[in-house]
Amino acid sequence: MPKPPMPKPPMPTTPMPTPRCCLQIATMILIALGASRGLGAEPVSFQAGPPGRSLGSKSPNVLLICIDDLKPRLGCYGDPRAKTPSIDRLAKRGVRFDQAYCNQAVCSPSRNALLTSLRPQTLGIYDLQTNFRKGSPEAISLPQHFKSHGYHTQSFGKIFHVGHGNTDDAKSWSVESYKPKGRNYQTPENQNPENAKDKTKAAAFESADAPEELYNDSLIADAAIETIGQKGSSDQPWFLAVGFLKPHLPFVAPKKYWDLYDPKEIALASFQQPPAGAPGFALQNSGELRSYSNVPSQGTLPESLQRELIHGYLACVSFTDHQIGRLLGSLDQNGLSDQTIVVLWGDHGWHLGDHGMWCKHSNYEQATRIPVVVSAPGKAKNASSQALIESVDIYPTLCELAGIESPSGLDGKSFARVLEDPSLPHRDHAIQVYPRSKEGTGQVLGRSIRTDRYRLVQWKAWAAPEESSDWELYDYQVDPLETKNLAPDRPELVAQLRKFLDTHPQAKPPVKEELASGNSGTSGNSSVGSPEGSKPTDREALFAKKDANADGYLTYQEFMQGQKDPEQAKGRFGKFDADRDNKLSRSEFVSSGKPSK
C-alpha cells in the first residue's frame, strides 16, 4: 500500500500577490490538480485561457526546460511508439532541430556548456565534481546574464549539476533554487538498502501503482506552475529554468506510464557489437547501470532485462512529457504563451544497448545527439531544421531573441536566424569531447567532429604529439549504426576532416590535474588521505585506472575491482563516500574521504 502523499516543500518567499494574481493562482491550483491526475497520452490542452498580451516594449519571458538523459526518441523525432504528445505539440509550436549535439555526454560538463556557452575543453572541466567557476572564475552564466538585464531568474529541479562535490551557482538566481523532496522509489523492497545486496543501489527500474504526486518530477512541475501563476501579471520579465530528473536512472515512474507500452513491441538494439577496428578504450562498460542490484556486474545483459530497461526508459520519458504538458498548459492559462520563448533541451543522449553499451559516457552518435526544440514569438512554427547546432549555441541565441547583447568570449554562436528560416545552415560541424584512460598512456581526450555525414574522433593525451593519435571515422550515409571504423582505410578523408579540428584551439588540460600538480596555489600537503605517505598523483593515477567509463566517479564495482582485501575494502568504500551518494568522486578517492585542506 503506497504511503500518503508527502507535503510539498515551501516555495521561496514572494511579495504579497495582487487580487488579480490571487485569481490566477487559484485557477492554476485547479489546473495543476486536474493535470496531475491525467494520463501521459492525454496531454494538457494548450488552447484554453485568456488571450495573451502583446509583447509591446516588454522583453519576452524565457522558459528553459532541461531534461536529464533525454535522447531524441520522441514522437516528433520520428519514433512511432514513443508516447510524447506534449513535446510533440511543442514541436508544432516551434522549430525542431534534427542535428543538435551536446558538447560532452555526461551531466555536469554538458550543463556547463549550455549555461556558460563554454565548451568543456575551454573550461578544462570534464568531470562531475568540478564547479565551472574553477575553470573560469569570471564566467557569466546564462541566467546570471539575464538577471543583470532586469530579469527575475529562478530554477527548479536539476539545472546546474549539484552533487559529487559540485554546487549550485547563487550568482545566477534571483531566489534560492527549488529542490524537490520526493522519493525515487515507492515500493518497500526498493526503499530497503539491504535489498541492494553487494551493490550500492536498489533496482534499476520500478513500476509502482503510486500517486505521481510522490515523484520528484511532479513536485518540480508543481513548483514551476505556481511560480508561472505568480509571475503572470508582473511587468518584470522572467527566466525560469525547469530541470526534470527523468529519464535518468533509476527508471521509476507510476505504473500508468509503463502501461502505455506493450513490452512485446519494444525492439532491442539491432547492432550490439563494438565498431570493428575501434580502439577498445573508446567504449565503456555501462558502469553506471551496473551499480544497480538487478543488473549483472559484467557481460552482455539478457534480452529480457534489456527489454525491461528500454520499457522503463520510455515510461519515464512519457512521465516527464506529461509534466511538460502541464507547464505549457500553465503558460496558456495565464495568457503567456505569445510572450514566452520556450526551449526544450536534453543534456545528452543515452545508449540503449547499441554497441553493447548502456548509459552515456561516449563520443558515439547515440550518446551525443540530443533533442532541441525552440518555440519563440514571431518565429517559425511546425518546422524542422537540419542545421548543425551545439549546446553552447543556445546561450547566444536566447540573448539575441531577447534583445540582449551576448557577453564576449563565448564559444557558441546564435542560430536565431534559423528560427526565421529553418532551411538555413548554421555550422559546418559540431564538436564533442570525452576523456578516457588508455593503457600505457594514461588519460587521453577524444575530440569528435560531427559533420552532416561523418564523424571523426582523435584520441590523444593533452600535450602529446599528433603522431601519437588514435583515430575513428564513421560514415552515417552508408553506416548509420557505426559498425566499422573507417579511419585505417580512408586516410585521405581523415586528413580532410582534420582541418575542422585544426580550427579549434588545443583542449585545456583537466583543472583537477592542474590542482593535483600544485600549479593553482593549493596546499602542498602531499600525503593527505594517502596510505603510507604516497603522493596524490599516485592516487590520481589509480583513480583513472579504476574509472572504467571515465565518468569522473567510481561505482562500488569499479572500486572493488582488483581489491586484495575485499571485506576490508567494503568498509573503505563507505568511509571514503563522504557525501553518501554511493559513488566516489575523484576528490573523495584521492583524499580517502577526508576533508580537503
Percent of the chain with pLDDT over 70: 82
Same domain, 179 and 144: yes
Tally of residues, the chain: 597
Interval 202-206 mean pLDDT: 95
What pLDDT does 315 receive? 98
Which domain covers residue 445, as residue numbers?
430-502
Q: Does the pLDDT value for residue 279 go beyond 80? A: yes
What pLDDT does 25 receive? 39
Residue 486 sits in a domain whose CATH number is 3.30.1120
Same domain, 463 and 540: no
Q: Tell me, what amino acid is at 502?
A: D
Residue 73 sits in a domain whose CATH number is 3.40.720.10
Q: Does the pLDDT value for residue 269 go beyond 80? A: yes
DSSP-derived secondary structure for 150-214: T-EEEEEESSS--BTTB---GGG-SSPPB-----S--SHHHH-GGGGTTSSBS-SEEEE---GGG
Task: Tell me the pLDDT tens digit for each residue of 432-463.
Answer: 999 999 988 899 999 999 999 999 999 999 98
Tell me which of 145, 161, 348, 351 is the catalytic residue: 161
Whether 107 is a known active-site residue: answer yes
Q: Which residue has the higher pLDDT, 354 or 232?
A: 354
Return the minimum-mean-pLDDT range out of 17-26, 96-105, 140-149, 264-273: 17-26
Residue 466 has a CB neighbour count (10 Å cut-off) of 9
Backbone angles phi, psi at 436, to 5 degrees: -145, 165
Same domain, 131 and 207: yes
Same domain, 342 and 460: no
Interval 87-111 mean pLDDT: 98
Interval 301-313 mean pLDDT: 98
In a domain, 175, yes or no: yes
Same domain, 354 and 438: no
In a domain, 288, yes or no: no
In a domain, 371, yes or no: yes
What pLDDT does 584 receive? 80
In a domain, 508, yes or no: no
What pLDDT does 558 receive? 76
Same domain, 458 and 535: no
Cβ–Cβ < 8 Å for 63, 242: yes
Task: Tell me the pLDDT tens digit for each residue of 54-65.
Answer: 445 689 999 999
Same domain, 185 and 324: yes
Cβ–Cβ < 8 Å for 257, 215: no
pTM exceeds cut of 0.85 = no
The domain boundary residue, chosen from 387, 418, 449: 418
The domain boundary residue, chosen from 370, 386, 418: 418
What pLDDT does 233 receive? 79
Q: Does the pLDDT value for residue 18 go beyond 60? A: no
What pLDDT does 415 receive? 98
Structural domains of the chain, count: 3
In a domain, 517, yes or no: no
Buried b (16+ CB within 10 A) or exposed e, 365-390: bbbbbbbbbbbbbebbeebbbebbbb
Same domain, 442 and 328: no
Whether 66 is a known active-site residue: answer no
In a domain, 301, yes or no: no
Task: Tell me the pLDDT tens digit for each residue of 362-420.
Answer: 999 999 999 999 999 999 999 999 999 999 999 999 999 999 999 999 999 999 999 99
What pLDDT does 523 receive? 30
- Structure confidence at residue 9 as a pLDDT band (50, 70, 90): very low
Tell me which of 66, 102, 107, 316 is the catalytic residue: 107
Average pLDDT of the residues of the chain: 86
